[in-house]
Amino acid sequence: MAQIWLIRHGQTIWNVQGRWQGQTPDAPPLNATGVAQAHALAETLAQHAAEVAFQALYSSDLLRARQTAEIVALRLGLLPVRFDPRLREVNLGAWEGMLGDDVALRYVAELEERKRNPVYSRPPQGETVFELAARVGQALDDMARAHPQGNILVVSHGLAIATALCMANGTPLERVFDHLPDNATPHVIVWRI
């Protein structure tokens, strides 16, 4: 039974603009606010490290998460970052890089379907919440097996973390969009395998 500290990456300009990032390789790095958030997060975790022995630090391999995790690792000074692509954000397909308002104008039927069926609907060329939850859950299972009594830091993305929060707390995935975390804020869960 591992304790997992789920952390969403720091802010990017696309977060500010309301642009949908997903897994696009064109997504920008952390902005100045995001870097400051990552440093503040690292200080908070360093204070916890006096009481909590963090055994591992895992991160999505996408740039914004990587940057956040590397800032944390540098401050904690003892953990290498282990990158795992299963911790990536949901693949938003054709919506990646678009402003939310533009998605709403161009993909009316698809967004209506997403509201009706949030778990199994799919953006054009994208991934469902169910598929996202399956890969994130598998990654967390593997981490919990590797560190069964440990405290594990995981830097990931909004919807990926929301699925983990739902699964850990027994919340139906249909409510996943109600559990999107703020940037650079830890959420501690107990992960049972």
Low-confidence ranges of the chain (pLDDT < 70): none
Q: What is the pLDDT of residue 111?
A: 96
Q: What is the pLDDT of residue 50?
A: 81
Catalytic residue among 39, 51, 70, 89: 89
Q: What is the pLDDT of residue 67?
A: 98
Q: What is the pLDDT of residue 117?
A: 97
Q: What is the pLDDT of residue 79?
A: 79
Q: pTM of the predicted model, to two decimals?
A: 0.96
Q: What is the pLDDT of residue 101?
A: 97
- The string of DSSP codes covering the chain is -EEEEEEEPPPBHHHHHTB--TT-TT---B-HHHHHHHHHHHHHHHHHHTTS-EEEEEE-SSHHHHHHHHHHHHHH-S--EEE-GGGSPP--GGGTT-BHHHHHHH-HHHHHHHHH-TTT---TT---HHHHHHHHHHHHHHHHHHSTT-EEEEEE-HHHHHHHHHHHHT--GGGGGGGPPPTT-EEEEEE--
157 part of the active site: no
Catalytic residue among 9, 157, 179, 187: 9
Q: What is the pLDDT of residue 191?
A: 96
Q: What is the pLDDT of residue 87?
A: 98
Q: What is the pLDDT of residue 12?
A: 98
9 part of the active site: yes
Q: What is the pLDDT of residue 78?
A: 73
- Going along the chain from its start, the domains and CATH numbers come out as 2-191 (3.40.50.1240)
